Amino acid sequence: MLSNSLIELDRRHLIHPVSSYRGHEYLGVRVLKSAKGAVLTDMDGHELVDGFAGLWCVNAGYGHESIVEAAAQQMRELPYATGYFDMGSEPAIRLASELADRAPGDLDHVFFTLGGSDAVDSTVRFIRYYWHCKGQPQRDQFISIEQGYHGSSTVGAGLTALPGFHAGFGIPYSWQHKIPSHYSYRNPAGDTPEAIIQSSLAALYAKVEEIGGPERVAAFYAEPIQGSGGVLVPPKGWMKAMRDACAALDILFIADEVITGFGRTGPLFASTEDGIVPDFMTIAKGLTSGYVPMGAVLMSDRVYQVMADGAGPVAIGHGYTYSAHPVSAAVGLEVLRLYENGLLENGRRAGARLMAGLETLRDHPLVGDVRGRGMLAAIELVVNKKKKTPLPAEAAPGRRIFDRAWKSGLVIRAFANGVLGYAPPLCCTDAEIDMILDRTRKVLDATL
């Protein structure tokens, strides 16, 4: 087979992100060759429906010539321009302006990064700087949520509250704190929206007190939907309640929209639907639909003015060689045009079909929970529905289900604990959504 020599080279030389180094040596990599729309083709010509948009990022789908052309044209004209020394490029300025126009409230200022992890990392530095400017440097404690994911930079991995990102690393995060997730399906407070919201608020207030009061707390991080934690959807009103509580305590609120941005849940930003204006919003993935790397921090005017006045003429020492990269920005502009010329609308239609189809799986003996919003969804598999008993971890359900799905021509995210995640490209046709659903049912039947 064509892929055999590549598998061997990969085994010897390529370290894969978030993967078992030994497992990858034994099992071998699955090499993708090409893609169009929502369909991937591997090196051996095997076709698969991409139910996960790469890594919840190729929202526009694969093979858009206009995106390729935007990148090529920018590379011909100006492949690089630094943002240092007050220099810049037209696409970066235009993209910042377009994003500010569409973001909620006064999120008017945009700092471009290379992806989501360094966007989160940047917020931590900006927040510390902000509190110094406000004359409250003792506000140096950060709070995030169990099951949350905020990237794997050294600082962001601390805000991330998934055990695999901490075990074995031994990096101390004494200034970072967690409150329990809203995880409706397994929330000790019950499953009514009111009980969940009240218990999250109580946990936040208790944590703030434990840390030493609001005057010690710099910021609180939340995803509108916890993605990598297993697509955990908070009840309606949860984000607003938490945002309002933070405002009352004068704690900065960060909405991490790296997954939920760009049509994943329906609108361009989930925060709009949640009716909130965070102090910072982090975005990446769908910003360029994964065609080239780019992320961003959107900062409120209120925060920006404090930092600008505090620093005065002094340069604020934060930035990357590739901040505001013109090729990524040109791609971002074209992708934004596509979202607004039918993709968001198609995503909303396909999302309704996906959710309705997943709901019909509730009758399956293995399906304990179905949850999601728009084109971001999950089913949670259990051995016993009444007791909500998870699939036994020693049977490595994630890896087995992923493999079974792959062989049936479907890519999904199969979490280690038996949660199956869905985030298909927004361009999916009805037939492709139905293929995702049919293949899922077959995979579940084979897993019984």
291 binds ligand PLP, rule: CB under 6 A: no
CB 47 → ligand PLP: shortest distance, Å?
26
CA atoms of 298 and 406, how far apart (whole Å)? 37
Which of 10, 50, 223, 274 is close enough to bind ligand PLP by CB under 6 A? 223
CB 282 → ligand PLP: shortest distance, Å?
6
Which of 256, 274, 380, 432 is close enough to bind ligand PLP by CB under 6 A? 256
Q: Which element (helix H / strand E) includes 142?
A: strand 141-145
CB 260 → ligand PLP: shortest distance, Å?
8
At 415, give phi and psi (nearest 5°).
Answer: -70, 155
CA atoms of 103 and 82, how far apart (whole Å)? 25
Residue with tokens 């969804």, as numbered in its chain: 377
The first and second tokens of residue 72, run together, are 């090529």
Count CA within 13 A, CB hemisphere, residue 328: 23
Residue 230 or 368: which CB sits closer to ligand PLP? 230
Instruction: Tell me the one-letter amino acid at 203.
Output: A
Residue 156 or 357: which CB sits closer to ligand PLP? 156
CB 375 → ligand PLP: shortest distance, Å?
15
The first and second tokens of residue 22, run together, are 């030994």
CB 158 → ligand PLP: shortest distance, Å?
13
Residue 10 or 256: which CB sits closer to ligand PLP? 256
Choose among 49, 60, 217, 204: nearest CA to 131. Answer: 217
CA atoms of 142 and 13, how far apart (whole Å)? 38
Residue 126 or 149: which CB sits closer to ligand PLP? 149
- For residues 272-290, one letter each, b for 16 or more C-beta atoms within 10 angstroms of the residue's C-beta and e for the rest, the string is bbbebbbbbbbbbbbbbbb
Task: Using the rule CB under 6 A, give the single segment among 65-73, 209-217, 251-259, 309-317 that binds ligand PLP.
Answer: 251-259
Contact track, ligand PLP, 182-221, x by CB under 6 A:
----------------------------------------
CA atoms of 290 and 59, how far apart (whole Å)? 8
Residue 91 or 229: which CB sits closer to ligand PLP? 229
228 binds ligand PLP, rule: CB under 6 A: yes
CB 4 → ligand PLP: shortest distance, Å?
30
At 68, give phi and psi (nearest 5°).
Answer: -60, -45
Q: What are the residues whose beta carbons fall under 8 Å from the beta carbon of 54, sequence distance 6 or more?
A: 290
CA atoms of 408 and 435, how far apart (whole Å)? 10
In the DSSP assignment, the letter for residue 106 is T
Q: What are the residues whose beta carbons fall under 8 Å from the beta carbon of 438, sequence distance 6 or more?
A: none
CA atoms of 421 and 372, how far apart (whole Å)? 9
Residue 91 or 261: which CB sits closer to ligand PLP? 261
CB 148 → ligand PLP: shortest distance, Å?
8
Neighbour tally for 172: CB within 10 Å: 8
259 binds ligand PLP, rule: CB under 6 A: yes
Residue 151 or 372: which CB sits closer to ligand PLP? 151
CB 296 → ligand PLP: shortest distance, Å?
11
Which of 30, 64, 109, 150 is close enough to bind ligand PLP by CB under 6 A? 150
Instruction: Tell me the one-letter amino acid at 300.
Output: S
Task: Using the rule CB under 6 A, give the single segment among 145-153, 338-346, 380-388, 427-435 that binds ligand PLP.
Answer: 145-153
Residue 293 or 368: which CB sits closer to ligand PLP? 293
Where in 319-338 is the site for ligand PLP (CB under 6 A)? none
Which of 111, 126, 149, 253 is close enough to bind ligand PLP by CB under 6 A? 149
Which of 255, 284, 307, 427 is close enough to bind ligand PLP by CB under 6 A? 284
At 55, give phi and psi (nearest 5°).
Answer: -130, 65
Task: Using the rule CB under 6 A, give the single segment among 95-103, 222-230, 335-343, 378-386 that binds ligand PLP.
Answer: 222-230
State the number of binding residues for ligand PLP (CB under 6 A).
15
- Contact predicate 301/412, CB 8 Å: no
In the DSSP assignment, the letter for residue 15 is P
CB 276 → ligand PLP: shortest distance, Å?
16
- Contact predicate 427/63, CB 8 Å: no
Where in 95-124 is the site for ligand PLP (CB under 6 A)? 115-117, 120
Residue with tokens 């189809």, as numbered in its chain: 357
Interface residues toward ligand PLP, by CB under 6 A: 115-117, 120, 149-151, 223, 227-228, 256, 258-259, 284, 295
